[in-house]
């Protein structure tokens, strides 16, 4: 990375919130920091919602990171000021586009790059944003699906759009031994031989396209074949969705077969993947679907949808099974087939090893550096 590639990375949040985009921002910060060290280039990361003390030094040093505690005007002022010495401004989210517009007006030669994750850029955009992106912005899409979608929806293509697949967090715990953790079996009152399904996603009354309701709807059928089957649904639901799911559990008599396990902290995330027999999430609106890649890194069998970025997160079907997320029968047959087939340790380790080949951090950093070097 040449000196002209000094980078200012603007994010909404990286450390104060949880979620896929925040994970991407942390990994991006780490990669940019490593590249800046290797090439003696300057890096500054500004986060609108974070506090400076929240930064994890594994990803970014306190010298390179500044949080603004949601002080929007101060964030914008510092971003515009710092852009004078950082000719590359990287945005983590389309909501930061107004600041990029001001920077471009004041410093026309600044290179503006926008990370495109998924639904935040797939929907309706104002005319000025589409025009501004087409004329002045380079987009780095987390998947080919996202790139194809923004071309279809907004006509953004060609030299404007590049693909940078997400990778595993460099500090994601890669398990050496693939077995169900005893402490989690005890915590959830489960037995090692019980068939266990797992989904981890945002649980919102506005986001039923994630597909967990499809899994719940076929649980009664699966229970006929596997009387002790248990579905663990991870994620922090909003108030409305929690009430809806609790009523659904009661109505369908699924108290012994569906557990709402809430938010799963990073410290136990890998162990939850190890706990399940199948990680299943037939979503229709994943820009990439980092949970699938994480599950594969833990050796999990995976079932996901084939209509969004999920397929790229499992290397287009190499690491898991792709199904039509709108077809409940296909979902049922896929789960049934996998639970009836014996899974050997060799198969699980092979899946894990392939995942580490496709989605490792050094490869991500290499591709990132190439994009930075591409004017």
Q: Are residues 265 and 342 in the same domain?
A: yes
Residue 67's Cβ-count burial label (10 Å; 0-12, 13-18, 19+) is buried
Q: Do 132 and 216 belong together in one domain?
A: no
Q: Do 158 and 249 sit in the same domain of this protein?
A: no
Digits of tens for pLDDT over the chain (375 positions)? 444 579 999 999 999 988 899 999 999 999 999 999 999 999 999 999 999 999 999 999 999 999 999 999 999 999 999 999 999 999 999 999 999 999 999 999 999 999 999 999 998 999 999 999 999 999 999 999 999 999 999 998 766 889 999 999 999 999 999 999 999 999 999 999 999 999 999 898 887 789 999 999 999 999 999 999 999 999 999 999 999 999 999 999 999 999 999 999 999 999 999 999 999 999 998 999 999 999 999 999 999 999 999 999 999 999 999 999 999 999 999 999 999 998 999 999 999 999 999 999 999 999 999 999 986
Predicted TM-score (pTM) above 0.85: yes
Query: What was the pLDDT predicted at 1?
Result: 40
Residue 219 and residue 337 in one domain: yes
> How many domains are contained in the chain?
2
Please check whether residues 349 and 203 belong to one and the same domain.
yes
Q: Do both 213 and 106 map to the same domain?
A: no
Rounded distance between C-alpha atoms, residue 307 and residue 284, angstroms: 6
With H, G, I as helix, E, B as strand and everything else as coil, classify residue 218. coil
Residue 193 and residue 331 in one domain: yes
Based on the domain organization, do 354 and 276 belong to the same domain? yes
Name the residue range of residue 241's domain. Answer: 182-358
| 174 located within any domain | no
Q: What is the pLDDT of residue 2?
A: 44
Looking at residue 78, the DSSP 8-state letter turns out to be H
- Considering the domain architecture, whether residues 22 and 134 belong to the same structural domain is answered as yes
CATH code for position 258: 3.40.50.2000
176 domain-assigned: no
Collapsing DSSP states into helix, strand and coil, what is residue 10? strand
Query: What is the structure's pLDDT at 160?
Result: 81
| Per-residue confidence (pLDDT) for residue 4, from 0 to 100 | 56
Confidence (pLDDT) at 288:
96
> Quick check: is 8 in a domain?
yes
Instruction: Tell me how far apart the alpha carbons of residues 136 and 165 are, in angstroms, rounded to a whole number.
Output: 23
Residue 172 lies in a domain: no
Q: Are residues 195 and 72 in the same domain?
A: no
Structure confidence at residue 3 (pLDDT): 47
Residue 262 lies in a domain: yes
Query: Are both 341 and 200 inside the same structural domain?
Result: yes
* Alpha carbons 137 and 28: distance in angstroms, whole number: 19
Examine the domain organization and report whether 354 and 343 are in the same domain: yes
Task: Write out the DSSP string of 252-278.
Answer: TT-TTTEEEEE---HHHHHHHHHH-SE
Is 112 domain-assigned? Answer: yes
């Amino acid at each position: 990375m040449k000196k002209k590639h000094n980078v200012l990375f603007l994010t909404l949040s990286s450390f104060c919130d949880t979620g896929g985009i925040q994970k991407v921002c942390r990994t991006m910060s780490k990669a940019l920091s490593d590249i800046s060290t290797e090439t003696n280039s300057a890096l500054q990361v500004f986060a609108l919602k974070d506090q400076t003390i929240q930064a994890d030094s594994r990803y970014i040093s306190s010298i390179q990171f500044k949080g603004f505690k949601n002080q929007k005007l101060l964030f914008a002022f510092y971003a515009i000021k710092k852009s004078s010495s950082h000719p590359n401004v990287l945005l983590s989210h389309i909501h930061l586009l107004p600041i990029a517009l001001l920077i471009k007006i004041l410093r026309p030669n600044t290179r503006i790059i926008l990370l495109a994750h998924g639904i935040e850029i797939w929907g309706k955009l104002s005319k000025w944003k589409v025009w501004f992106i087409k004329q002045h912005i380079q987009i780095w899409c987390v998947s080919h699906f996202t790139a194809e979608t923004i071309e279809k929806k907004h006509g953004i293509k060609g030299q404007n759009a590049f693909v940078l697949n997400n990778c595993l967090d460099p500090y994601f715990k890669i398990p050496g031994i693939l077995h169900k953790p005893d402490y989690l079996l005890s915590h959830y009152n489960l037995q090692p031989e019980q068939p266990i399904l797992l989904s981890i996603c945002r649980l919102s009354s506005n986001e039923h396209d994630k597909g967990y309701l499809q899994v719940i709807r076929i649980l009664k059928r699966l229970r006929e074949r596997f009387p002790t089957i248990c579905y663990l649904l991870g994620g922090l639901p909003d108030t409305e969705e929690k009430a809806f799911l609790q009523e659904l559990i009661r109505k369908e008599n699924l108290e012994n077969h569906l557990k709402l396990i809430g938010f799963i902290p990073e410290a136990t995330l890998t162990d939850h993947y190890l706990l399940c027999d199948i990680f299943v999430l037939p979503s229709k609106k994943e820009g990439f679907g980092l949970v699938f890649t994480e599950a594969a890194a833990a050796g999990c069998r995976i079932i996901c949808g084939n209509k969004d970025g999920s397929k790229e997160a499992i290397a287009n079907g190499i690491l898991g099974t792709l199904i039509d997320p709108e077809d409940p029968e296909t979902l049922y047959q896929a789960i049934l087939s996998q639970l009836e087939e014996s899974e050997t340790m060799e198969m699980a380790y092979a899946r894990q090893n392939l995942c580490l080949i496709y989605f490792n951090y050094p490869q991500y950093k290499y591709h990132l550096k190439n994009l930075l070097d591409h004017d």
